[in-house]
Structure 1
Amino acid sequence: MPTERCFHCHEPILTGQQFVLEFEQQQRTFCCLGCQAVADTIIQQGLGDYYRFRTEPATKADAMPADLATELASFDSPDVLADLSSKQGELSKIELSVSGISCAACAWLIERRLKQLTGVAGITVNSGTQRAQIEWLPEQLKLSRILQEISKLGYQASPFAADQEEKIHKAELGRYLKRLAVSGILSMQVMMLAIALYFGEWTGIDPEHQDYLRWISMLLTTPVAFYAALPFVTSAWRSIVNRKMNMDVPVSLAIYYTYFASAYATLTETGEVYFESVCMFVFFLQLGKFFEYRARAKARDATSNLLKIMPVTATQLIDGQPQSTSARRLLPGDLILVKAGETLPADGEVFDGNSSVDESMLTGEYHPIAKARGDAVLAGSVNHDGVLQVKVSQPLALSRLGQIIALQQDTLNQKPKLAEKTDELAQYFVERLLLIALATFLVWFFWIDASRAFWVTLSVLVATCPCALALATPTAITCSLARLNRKHILIKNNQVLDRLPDIQQIVFDKTGTLTQGRFSVHQVHLLATEHDNASLLNLIANLERHSEHPIGKAFQPYLHQALELSDVQISIGAGISALWQGQRVQVGNAAFCHAEPIPGAMVYLSVANKVLAAIELQDDLRPEVPALLQALKAKGYQLGLLTGDSSSQAERVAEQLGFDWLEKGCSPEQKVTVIQQLTRQQQKVMMIGDGINDSACFHAADVSVTLQGSTDLAKNQADVLILRNDLSLLTTLLSGGELAARTIKQNLAWSVGYNVIIIPLAVVGLVSPYIAVLGMSFSSLLVVSNSLRLLKS
């Protein structure tokens, strides 16, 4: 007698106790009080559709213990809540990790239940990542109540933590590897047995030996069909429930139709067996799915937790005493201490101290900026050399850095999603394939030959099984990704290869992207005729040896003779001075050297209060840039320069390199606006940048690219990461996209052409199942081989 199973979690009911509820006019039995309580909550809230549409059993539920309720209540503390959530007006926003989600119905259930709670303004549950994003009014609804309601539904939720998310992704990767290993290893074993059976058909084989080989083949194929192929069945069932056929429907149908037909032939000792086809088909599909998952995982990891690049802690001055605190808890009016080398944790105003800060992560300009009392400073910028006391003007969440990250999330949601042509073709093909297979069976069974109806239908389904169509796109994409990886190009968004052939506008950031991000001497303006360039530059280089300032590195190549200097003094954010031959030498900005500013000059030299020279610095272009841009223009791309640099150097670079248009002095918001204007004009845009100020507009562009030497946030957010600081690889990326698109078209053309030819032959019974398998295998092999050519180029 079969063991009765729990209606909620499908686990066996092994105890003598009976927990029952009535649902849809039937008595439903449960394994424990926890599952009964969860089911009662779901049904009483009018959410019974969950049980009708779920594709996986729920996780076993347990009644909430008192200590868990106490733990959830701790999240209501204002201090804890401030660390876990962000404020958006009256609303609070939080991201939760939800364990136990097994299918889309689980996500639907949680969303529906929480929307019924007063105070919930919005909720989105992602069943793929097992995460929920909730907006609510904390004055009306406590966070602990939200977590308790999720727990009552049989799921466990907690504030999102990156380390826990990493564990989830590792577990998912392990499942992919296990299924791939099972299908791959068993495919080899079953194929060896199939070769023996094939040769036995030609040379003669004892029935006992044939039956033995078939039974072993069936036993080895069973784990492949019911374990390795499980994701395809789950996907197929979900698509059927949603009334939309996807490629996994005929794939699953073919796998199990072939498996059960072969099993029937084995049990009855009649007909043919095709176990090797089941194993190899599942292995090829799993291989493609595995590589697709690896590509998706990198993109998902990049956006897992953008807040991790924000400062975590701050040193707050309370009654003049420094105390460590959370950066998120800082409020306007708080006084903080920022030491040399530290990242500013909030926007504010310098209350005391002098220093220079690096705002390149936010502005795109590498010029260190002097800061003194009353000057504004930005969260995310790095304090170079002095100690600053800063009065907070904006908390971290509302700082410029926080707004940039919020802007990234908004533009990410607005990113255009191009419908894949293969999905449309697959939907059309699948529907007609199933109708043709059904019609074939009915015609043969009732009008032609009932004994052959099953096998002719199998021939139709196997011969026209969309193996080649299913493999056409993923194999080409997989091989293209591998080819580009070998050429030091990492694709993190699996839609990039489809978008690359349509790119029309290529937009570059300047500082750190076209340029090297390192200063060099561009021009020396001599203001005294008794000195030459070499001697003055050597003098400056001797002084700059005592400074760690980035500008000082521009003069290192001009150090040809060591000079005796004494009484070296560094004025933070202004310059450096020393005694040389009894005279005071000063190198720094115009005010420090008491000089009249000269347009373009950044560094001045004075001896005994006499200004001798003014030096213009430049950020040198990458050596590969001129040839790259010339090649891109020759291919017909429109080139734009979009930079935060407001100096005249932007015009010089744009004119020198022949850009079609220039926008300079742009804030991150303005960069996004320019990209969006281009996309509204139906232009397909690629953006290449390197800083935080570029990452916001990455998601507004169709394709975004950055280099290995870029900021961490830029590398996290870009669709493409070039693993060397070599922009010339951009042409390799673009050609790789064109090659991938051409290969996909060839694969689709072959798979469609093959099916157009084979379908009529299979329907009229001219294609035996044996020939159907060979045809299917040959078609799939041709598609895979064509894709593998990408690895050789």
Structure 2
Amino acid sequence: MSASRCFHCNEPIPPEFNFTLDFDGKPRQFCCAGCLAVADTIIDSNLADYYRFRTEPASKANAMPADLTATLSEYDAPDVLADISQPVGELTEIELSIAGISCAACAWLIEKQLRQLPAVKQVNVNSATQRCHLTWHAAQQPLSEILSGLAKIGYQASPFIADQEEQQFKTELNHFLKRLAVSGIMSMQVMMLAVALYFGDYTGIESSHQGYLRWISFFLSLPVVLYAALPFVKSAWRGVKAKQLNMDVPVSLAIYYTFFASTYATLFNTGEVYFESVCMFTFLLQLGKFFEYRARSRARDATSNLLKIMPVSATRLIGEQQHTVSARRLNVDDVILVKPGETFAADGDIVYGQSSADESMLTGEYIAIAKTVGDNVLAGSVNHDGLLHVTVRQPLASSRLGQIITLQQRTLSQKPAVLQKTDALARYFVERLLLVAVATFILWYVWLDPERAFWVTLSVLVATCPCALSLAAPTAVTCALARLNRSGVLIKNAAVLDVLPELTHIIFDKTGTLTEGRFSVDKVEIFDSKYNEPELLNIIANLESYSEHPIARAFSNYLTQPQPLEHISIEVGAGISAHYNGQQIKVGSASFCQQQLAGSAQVFLNIDEVNVAAISLKDAVRAEVPILINNLRQQGYHLTMLTGDSSVQAEQLQSVLQFNHMVKGCTPEQKVTEINKFVNAGHKVLMLGDGINDNPGFHAAHVSVTLETGSDLSKNQADVVLLQPSIKLLADLLQGSAAAQRVIKQNLYWAAGYNLLIIPLAIAGWVSPYIAVIGMSFSSLLVVSNSLRLLKK
């Protein structure tokens, strides 16, 4: 019989748990007190429609820490608030990053909750980016109260500080949308008038009516040529000034040549007008540019998203006095206080205290690292269970985390070799096309018919405009994306479909990618026969519930019955002790439990100084991995494992899977170095990973892939996301890209063949501008139809 599911988060409800709440006349069950409290708050706030209309379950709600208010109040400090927000008159504006948004209903719930606050004037939640734009009266209500209210309905929010580069991208994206809207709307209007003019040529139309329709088309085309098409002109002019001919040169010539020719025909009532071609051509090109820019914009967004784990505030010690300051204003040799559960605000050295730190956000490895006086700590990592004083050695901007962000931006700006080849091909095409157009004009003006020279040259430019070429790849890519999406593969950067068929090297991260990425109980060895395994695991789970250590999570599912524990004591980096039924129990390392022969076990249970059990933990290899690795090896791929894990587990996995190359103990910079060795040797590289430490490597590789179970930042940043918790979808990705590549080549061959056929006919004067537009449209339609075949595969 399957376990009941939590009404709020849909996770299994442990046995013996009885958390219920009546909703819509039915008792609803919950997996924990946290989910119950969140659901109760949502319903009491008259927001119960969230549960009626949501499409995805919510994230599991953890019980709010008692000191949450004190932690959030740090954002209210004047210099901290000044760094994370912007004043707008009497109001304050801020961007928030919100964890736990799973569907559009979550965005609705957050907006409704915030709009109930009298101090809030404007709120807009984007469920895709998991961000919230908030404007409120800071004098009426502090930010900490707003964030605390969100925490009560299950969403952890923190200030998001976008860098200057992301702001620039947002501004440019808005310009793209406006130009796309102008060219699209005007194209529809002018096309309707063009249909009337074309039919009028055959059925007869009065001269005054024809002139009226032409003038209306002229005025409707003005916003297109004076605004929407300007980026092509600017790009072409920059290329000309740099003595480089790019694809925007013939595009600009075709657009404005056609427009001025049509304007001339309108003014003097002679010849044909092609205002609809100007508008449609601009719209199609803008659409392609927009999709290209969106892909690059998402990559930049991901780099900026990494900033959300950078701490906003810090507690600086001046003597015995504690001062809350902005983390960005810390200087070298400042001493900061870091409490349990807080994020380190800078790279530094511990001068007082001992604890353990979770550096998995930076290294990808989940084992906590013991820290004591003299040890170094990294900005962005989390202090587990000890109170520390840290001397700042590297401020936030120049910290290890800051260097990772800088490294990502540098690798992102590098142009892959495939794009360099495309640029070279484009320059070759443009040079020949312009020479053909000039030669055509001279031929007709000097030797053949000067009156037709202008129109014949226009036919050459229109007929050879790269519409089919510009649609050859995007349409095939769109169909391939839809096909792969149905299979559970989400491609965020369509350009990877061009690179995937050329792949030679595939690089894997270990923890969380090849393995499950979390500890689980592997083997339990019992030394006292009066205890059984479920009983001992339940005792251990009760003690570990008081710890934030990653190993503690391995026992959470074994907590079947809460036990009364007294005098609980945590020894940092060693273990936990308590009194239970008059006995002293200890759970922890071998030394903590006085165990001399540790063997392969990592956790020990000691009752009244007697060793009772030893537990071995494992990070299991994903079930589909061996078959996938074997298939990829048979297909001829060079397989590499790069892992931050420096333990013997890396060698054990290598002995089983037999990678061509393996490097353990890798820092993010070392991963980039290893990837660049392959890239610089001319190989095409794909990287599959799941952690923030993989992000620089994602940009260094030609293609980056992450799992649905990976971190939010990795999913935002990777080119491809596998939407199921299985890396076997990598095989579907490679097969789908190969099919897309075949169709793209067919489209390109057709587009090239069409140009080779139409250019001689246009030069000979046998193709009027009107026929040239029809030919260009037919060529584009054929390319689109061929691409649609991908949806049937």
Q: What's the TM-score once normalised by structure 1's chain length?
A: 0.73
Q: Which residue of 1 aligns with 2:643?
A: 643
1:753 Cα offset (Å): 0.3
1:502 — aligned with what? 502
Cα separation, partners in 2 of 1:249 and 1:788, compared to 1, 3 Å: farther
Shift of 1:381: 1.6
Show the counterpart of 1:425. Answer: 425
Aligned to 1:443: 443
Name which of structure 1's ranges 589-598 and 691-700 shifts more when overlaid on structure 2. 691-700
Report deviation, 1:480: 5.2
Query: How much does 1:326 deviate?
Result: 4.2
Q: Give CA-to-partner distance per residue, 1:147-193, whole Å, 9 cap, x none.
A: xxxxxxxxxxxxxx837655544432232222222221222222222
Check whether the contact 2:250–2:465 (CA below 8 A) recurs between aligned residues.
Answer: yes
Where does residue 205 of structure 2 map in the other structure?
Answer: 205
State the one-letter code of the partner of 1:433. L
Q: Say whether the 8 Å CA contact 2:303–2:408 is kept in structure 1.
A: no
- Tell me whether 430-439 or 526-535 shows the greater mean CA deviation: 526-535
2:315 alignment partner, SS class: strand
In 2: Cα distance, 1:431 partner to 1:407 partner: 37
Say which SS state the counterpart of residue 518 (structure 1) adopts.
coil
The aligned counterpart of 2:674 is 674
Q: Structure 1 residues 722, 608: CA separation in 2 closer, same or farther (over 3 Å shift)?
A: same
User: Aligned in 2, Cα 1:395/1:179: closer, same or farther, shift over 3 Å?
Assistant: closer
Q: What corresponds to 2:767 in structure 1?
A: 767
Q: After the TM superposition, which residues 308-347 of structure 1 pair with which residues of structure 2 at under 5 Å, given as runs?
A: 309-328=309-328, 330=330, 333-347=333-347
Per the alignment, residue 225 of structure 2 pairs with: 225
* Code of the aligned partner of 1:751: A
Deviations 1:264-283 (A, max 9, x none): 33333332222222222111
Query: In 2, distance between residues paired with 1:183 and 1:427?
Result: 26
Q: SS where residue 678 of structure 2 aligns? A: helix
Partner of 2:741: helix, strand, or coil?
A: helix
Aligned to 1:366: 366
CA separation of 1:672 and 1:227: change in aligned 2, threshold 3 A: closer
Cα distance between partner residues in 1 of 2:678 and 2:170: 39
For the 8 Å contact 1:415–1:702, the answer to whether it is kept is: no
CA RMSD after TM alignment? 3.4
2:578 is the alignment partner of 1:578: yes
Offset, 1:209: 3.1
Q: Would the aligned equivalents of 1:296 and 1:492 in 2 still touch at CA under 8 Å? A: no
Q: Point out the more displaced range, 691-700 or 163-172.
A: 163-172
- Is the 2:503–2:686 Cα contact (8 Å) retained in structure 1? yes
- Provide closer, same or farther for how the CA distance between residues 293 and 725 of structure 1 changes in structure 2, counting only shifts above 3 A: same
Q: CA deviation at 1:644?
A: 1.4
Matches within 5 A, 1:350-361: 350-361=350-361
Residues 255 and 278 in structure 2, CA contact (< 8 A), matched pair in contact too: yes
Q: 1:615 offset after TM fit, Å?
A: 1.1
Change (3 A) 1:305 1:604: closer
- Residue identity over aligned pairs, in percent, reads 64
| Residue identity matched to 1:226 | L
Name the CA distance, whole Å, in 1 between partners of 2:403 and 2:222: 54
Distance in 1, Cα, partners of 2:690 & 2:529: 42
- 2:152 match: none
Provide the rounded CA distance (Å) in 1 between the counterparts of 2:165 and 2:459: 45
Note if contact 1:422-1:473 (Cα within 8 Å) is conserved in structure 2: no
> Do structure 1's residue 612 and structure 2's residue 612 form an aligned pair?
yes
Counterparts in 2 of 1:282-297, with a 5 A limit? 282-297=282-297
| Aligned-pair CA distance for 1:518 | 2.1
1:338-737 matches, within 5 Å, as: 338-397=338-397, 399-408=399-408, 411-412=411-412, 416-477=416-477, 495-528=495-528, 531-560=531-560, 565-711=565-711, 714-715=714-715, 718-722=718-722, 725-737=725-737
Query: For each residue in 1:205-264, what CA deviation from the matched residue of structure 2 results, as whole angstroms up to 9, or x when unmatched?
Result: 333333333333233223323322222222222222222222222222222222222233
CA, structure 1 residues 786+537, in 2 after alignment: closer, same or farther (shift >3 Å)?
same
SS of residue paired to 2:516: strand
Q: Which residue of 2 aligns with 1:779?
A: 779
Letter in 2 for 1:588: G
Residue 492 to residue 309, structure 1, CA distance change in 2 (3 Å): farther
2:471·2:783 contact (CA, 8 Å) conserved in 1?
A: yes
Task: Report the Cα distance in structure 2 between the residues aligned to 1:414 and 1:421, rounded to whole angstroms.
Answer: 14
In structure 2, relative to structure 1, the CA distance for the partners of 1:191 and 1:413 (3 Å cut) is closer
> What is the Cα deviation at residue 409 of structure 1?
5.0
Q: Distance in 1 between matches of 2:436 and 2:624?
A: 57
Post-superposition offset of 1:485:
6.6
- Kept in 1: contact 2:522–2:615 (CA 8 A): yes
Following superposition, the deviation at residue 394 of structure 1 comes to: 4.5
SS in 2 for 1:516: coil
Structure 2's unaligned 5+ residue stretches are: 1-78, 85-160
Cα deviations across residues 703-723 of structure 1 (Å, max 9, x unaligned)? 223345544654565444556
* Residue 648 (structure 1) shift: 2.7
**Which residue in the other structure is 1:71 paired with?**
none
Which residue of the partner structure matches residue 238 of structure 1? 238
Change (3 A) 1:492 1:753: same
Q: Where in structure 2 are the equivalents of 1:142-161 lying within 5 Å?
A: none
Q: Which has the larger radius of gyration?
A: 1
C-alpha separation between the residues in 1 aligned to 2:176 and 2:533?
65
The reply to whether residue 750 of structure 1 matches residue 738 of structure 2 is no
**Shift of residue 407 of structure 1?**
4.4
Change in Cα spacing, 1:550 to 1:253, as seen in structure 2 (3 Å) is same
3-state DSSP class of the match of 2:445? Answer: helix
Return closer, same or farther for 1:178/1:392 CA change in 2, 3 Å cut-off. Answer: closer
Contact 1:483 1:790 survives alignment (8 Å): yes
Instruction: Tell me the SS of whatever aligns to 1:517.
Output: coil
State the SS of the aligned residue for 2:750. Answer: helix
- Equivalents in 2 of 1:412, 1:224: separation in Å? 32
Cα gap change, 1:368 to 1:168, in 2 (>3 Å): closer
CA–CA separation in structure 2 for the residues paired with 1:512 and 1:726: 11
**3-state DSSP of counterpart to 1:162:** coil
> Residues 579, 276 of structure 1: CA spacing in aligned structure 2 closer, same or farther, 3 A cutoff?
same
Residue 195 (1) aligns with residue 201 (2): no
Q: Where in structure 1 are there 5+ consecutive unaligned residues? A: 1-78, 85-160
Give the Cα separation in 2 of the matches to 1:277 and 1:410: 40
Which residue in 2 is equivalent to 1:253?
253
Answer yes or no: is the 8 Å Cα contact 2:163–2:304 preserved in 1.
no
Q: Deviations over 1:718-759 (max 9, x none)?
A: 444556655344334434443443333222211110011111
Contact 1:459 1:762 in 2 (8 A): yes
CA distance in structure 2 between the partners assigned to 1:573 and 1:442 by the alignment: 84
Distance 1:329 1:602 in 2: 41
Q: CA deviation at 1:783?
A: 2.6
Hey, what's the Cα distance between the residues in 2 that align with 1:391 and 1:174? 44
User: CA shift at 1:476, angstroms?
Assistant: 4.3
Distance 1:166 1:698 in 2: 19
1:87-126 equivalences in 2 (<5 Å): none
Q: Does 1:738 align with 2:738?
A: yes
Please give the alpha-carbon distance, in whole angstroms, between the structure 1 residues aligned to 2:740 and 2:598: 53
Q: Cα gap change, 1:200/1:504 in structure 2, threshold over 3 Å: closer, same or farther?
A: same
1:258-273 matches, within 5 Å, as 258-273=258-273
* C-alpha contact 2:471 2:780 (8 A) present in aligned 1: yes
Determine the C-alpha separation between the residues in 1 that align with 2:321 and 2:728: 53
Please list the CA deviations of residues 111-142 of structure 1 after superposition, one character each: whole Å capped at 9, or x if unmatched. xxxxxxxxxxxxxxxxxxxxxxxxxxxxxxxx
Q: State the Cα distance separating 1:768 from its structure 2 match.
A: 2.6
SS, match of residue 418 in structure 1: helix
